[in-house]
């Protein structure tokens, strides 16, 4: 029995591929990374694009590898499955993660990485998966259960559960904000969908009187 929905072969993940490609280019070209990275001083000088582009910057090969795998798989499934608002999700996560770091981590000078977006994309995917049939729905339920546990463990340990072995500090707050943005967007989308169905049905039955 297939775990993933059969329609996964129907769409090409354009936006996921674009983000992964830009991340690879940024890592390969240090001059590009320096122009894209979250730089607190540069942001206060008006370089607002860094709120969005900083998530494309990675510091080590393992940092890049883990983030590309996590975001790539989640984004691939979201796009192939046709779950809506993936692009607004990525933009909103990037913005709110960066702004949250500016407010809550005033001593942090530089930041980069897709981990916050990856966490949010995984959570968004799992939320939509609750509407699917088993066994995919069970996978999504387990994901919704374990993602918060992973983040709590990282907060408690003050380090990633993955073996980075490189001297940079992880920011679990970015994972929290990514998941919160995903949850809010999913709830807003679901509410609009329910209200739209309600008004459609109300209008339909009104015409029958």
Q: Please report, in tens digits, the pLDDT of each residue of the chain (209 residues total).
A: 444 544 444 578 999 999 999 999 999 999 999 999 999 999 999 999 999 999 999 999 989 999 999 999 999 999 999 998 999 999 999 999 999 999 999 999 999 999 999 999 999 999 999 989 889 999 999 999 999 999 998 888 777 666 555 566 788 999 999 999 999 999 998 888 776 554 444 444 454 43
Supply the range of the domain harboring residue 124: 6-208
Largest alpha-carbon pair distance within the chain? 71
Asked whether residue 33 is assigned to any structural domain, the reply reads yes
User: For the chain, what is the domain count?
Assistant: 1
Polymer length of the chain: 209
End-to-end CA distance of the chain: 47
CATH number at residue 153: 1.20.1540.10
- Contact residues for 84 (Cβ-Cβ < 8 A; gap 6+): 189
Asked whether residue 1 is assigned to any structural domain, the reply reads no
Convert the pLDDT of each residue in 71-121 to its tens digit: 999 999 999 999 989 999 999 999 999 999 999 999 999 999 999 999 999
Asked whether residue 174 is assigned to any structural domain, the reply reads yes
* Whole-angstrom distance, CA of residue 13 vs CA of residue 15: 6
- Contact residues for 6 (Cβ-Cβ < 8 A; gap 6+): none
């Amino acid at each position: 029995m297939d775990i993933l929905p059969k329609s996964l072969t129907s769409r090409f993940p354009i936006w996921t591929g674009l983000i992964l490609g830009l991340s690879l280019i940024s890592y390969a070209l240090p001059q590009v990374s320096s122009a894209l990275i979250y730089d607190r001083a540069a942001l206060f000088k008006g370089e607002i694009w860094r709120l969005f582009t900083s998530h494309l910057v990675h510091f080590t090969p393992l940092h890049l590898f883990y983030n590309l795998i996590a975001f790539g798989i989640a984004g691939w499934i979201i796009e192939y499955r046709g779950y809506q608002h993936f692009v607004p999700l990525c933009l909103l996560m990037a913005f709110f993660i960066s702004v949250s770091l500016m407010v809550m981590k005033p001593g942090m000078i530089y930041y980069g990485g897709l981990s916050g977006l990856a966490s949010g994309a995984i959570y968004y995917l799992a939320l939509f998966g609750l509407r699917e049939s088993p066994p995919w729905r069970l996978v999504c339920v387990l994901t919704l259960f374990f993602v918060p546990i992973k983040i709590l463990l990282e907060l408690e340990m003050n380090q990633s559960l993955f073996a980075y072995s490189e001297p940079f500090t992880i920011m679990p707050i970015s994972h929290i904000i990514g998941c919160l943005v995903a949850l809010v967007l999913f709830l807003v989308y679901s509410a609009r969908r329910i209200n739209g169905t309600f008004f459609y049905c109300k209008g339909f039955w009104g015409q029958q009187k």
